[in-house]
Amino acid sequence: MIFVSHAWLNGKPDQRIIEFVNFLRDNGYEAECDVMHMQQKSATHFIEMMANALRSAEKIIIVLSENYKERAEEFKGGVGIEYKYIIDDFSRNENKYILASFMGRCDNITPDFLKGREIVDLSIDRDNQYRELFFKLSSAEKYKFSEVATEKTVPKPEVIGKFEPIQKESHSKKYNIDISPKQVYTDVDKKKFLEESFKKIVEALTDVSAEFCEQFPNFQIERDEIDLITFVFEVYKSGSRIHGLQIWFGSFNGGREKNILIGYDIGRKNSYSEIISCEEYEGRLDLNFQMGFLMDKKNLNFEEAVRMIWEKHFKPYFRMESNYVVL
C-alpha cells in the first residue's frame, strides 16, 4: 500500500491530492490517503488511523507545500502528528519515503528536517509520463548499469624519451617541410581494405532496407546470404518480386585481383552491372566504380559508395501509386 501524506487547505481536503491518489490507483498502485480512510467510518479515530496507515504503508509520498511546512514545523494538527512519526522513522526506513511537490523544488515548502533531500517535481515529471515517480514507487532501476568486468582496463605507462641535453634544430620544422616517408600500400592492404568495405556496404544496405520497409510496409526487401562473400537482395511490392540484386566479393574475367561486384543476374557471377575497386589517393585508399552506370564515381569512402548503390540500383524500383510521392 502507498500512503499519500499532505496538508488540508482551509480545513478541507486538497482536491489535487484526491485526484492524484485516484491517478495512482488507475495506474496500478494501491494508493490511499486520509480522506479514503475517513469516509469508511462514521467516527474515525484520527490518530489511530494515521498511525496504522503510516506503519503499514510500503511507500509514503509526502506532498510538500507551504501549508505542509508550516503545520509540520509547528507540529499542528494531523500534519504535525505525521511529521513526528516521520522524524522518528526516517533514519530506519529511508527508502520508504518519497518527497514530491506540485510547486517545484524550493525551501519554502520543505520542513527543516527534510531539507537537502531529493524532491520529485510532479509538474516536470508529468511531461515525462511520471517516469521518475513510477521508478521510485516500484523500486525499479532507472538506469541499467553493466556488471563489473572481470578484467580492469589499465592504461599503458608513458614511455620516457631519451634525454637530450642540447636540442637539435629541426630544419624540416623550420621550413615547414614534411620529411616523413610516403605510405605505401601493398596488394594485401588493398585486398583487406576492399574486403572490409564489402562487409560494411552489405551491412549498410541491410540496415537501410530494414528502415525503408518499416516506413513503407507495402515493400519488402529480403536479404539472403549465399555464402560469406555473396549476398542477394530481393525486392517485393505487395508480395510480388520486382527487383533482385546480387553483390559479391571476388574477381572478374578470371583475374586474380579481388573486387566488389554487383549484378542483376542472380546466381551467376560472370555478369556485372558495377565493379568497385580501390586505389591509393593522397596517402589513403579510396573506392572507385571501375565499370557500369557509376564508373565516373571515384575516390569514395564506403558511405558514399552505399549512397550511390542505393540511388542507382534500389531507388528506381520504389514507386508508389498516383496518390503518393514518387521516391
Mean pLDDT score of the chain:
85
Residue 224 falls within a domain, yes or no? yes
What confidence tens digit (pLDDT) does each residue in 212-267 have?
Answer: 999 999 999 999 999 989 999 999 999 999 999 999 998 876 677 889 999 988 88
Closest CA to 239 of 221, 259, 215, 214: 221
Query: Considering Cα of 117, then 96, then 92, then 48, what sign does the dihedral take?
Result: positive
Same domain, 228 and 291: yes
Closest CA to 102 of 29, 23, 10, 34: 23
Tell which of 75, 107, 138 closes a domain. Answer: 138
Same domain, 30 and 124: yes
Residue 180 falls within a domain, yes or no? no
pLDDT of 168 strictly over 80: no
What confidence tens digit (pLDDT) does each residue in 183-206 have?
Answer: 778 888 999 999 999 999 999 999
In this prediction, residues 94-99 reach a mean pLDDT of 86
Tell which of 118, 138, 158 closes a domain. Answer: 138
pLDDT of 325 strictly over 80: no
Residue 228 falls within a domain, yes or no? yes
* Angle CA 89–95–101, to nearest 5: 90
What confidence tens digit (pLDDT) does each residue in 15-42 have?
Answer: 998 999 999 999 999 998 888 877 776 6
42-50: Cβ within 8 A, 24+ apart: 46/78, 47/81, 50/78, 50/81, 50/82, 50/85
Distance CA 79, CA 34 (A): 11
- Parallel/antiparallel/unpaired status of strands 119-121 and 219-227: unpaired
- What CATH number should be reported for the domain holding residue 106? 3.40.50.11530
Distance CA 309, CA 200 (A): 13
Same domain, 297 and 236: yes
Range of the domain at 309: 187-317
Same domain, 204 and 293: yes
Cell of residue 114, nine digits: 527534510
In this prediction, residues 52-68 reach a mean pLDDT of 87
| Torsion, CA 173, CA 177, CA 180, CA 182, rounded to 10 | 160
Residue 250 falls within a domain, yes or no? yes
pLDDT at position 198: 94
pLDDT at position 46: 67
**Beta strands, E only, 35-111:** 59-64, 97-101
Residues 6+ apart with CB under 8 A from 210: 221
Same domain, 200 and 104: no
Residue 16 falls within a domain, yes or no? yes
What confidence tens digit (pLDDT) does each residue in 112-148 have?
Answer: 888 888 888 988 888 888 888 899 888 888 888 889 9
Residue 208 falls within a domain, yes or no? yes
Residue 255 falls within a domain, yes or no? yes
Closest CA to 261 of 289, 219, 300: 289
pTM value is 0.45
- Tell me if 31 sits within 8 A of 53, measured CB to CB: no
- Tell me if 297 sits within 8 A of 306, measured CB to CB: no
pLDDT band at 43 (very low <50, low <70, confident <90, very high): low
Number of domains in the chain: 2
Same domain, 125 and 204: no
Amino acid letter for position 257: E
Tell which of 138, 165, 196 closes a domain. Answer: 138
Same domain, 130 and 8: yes
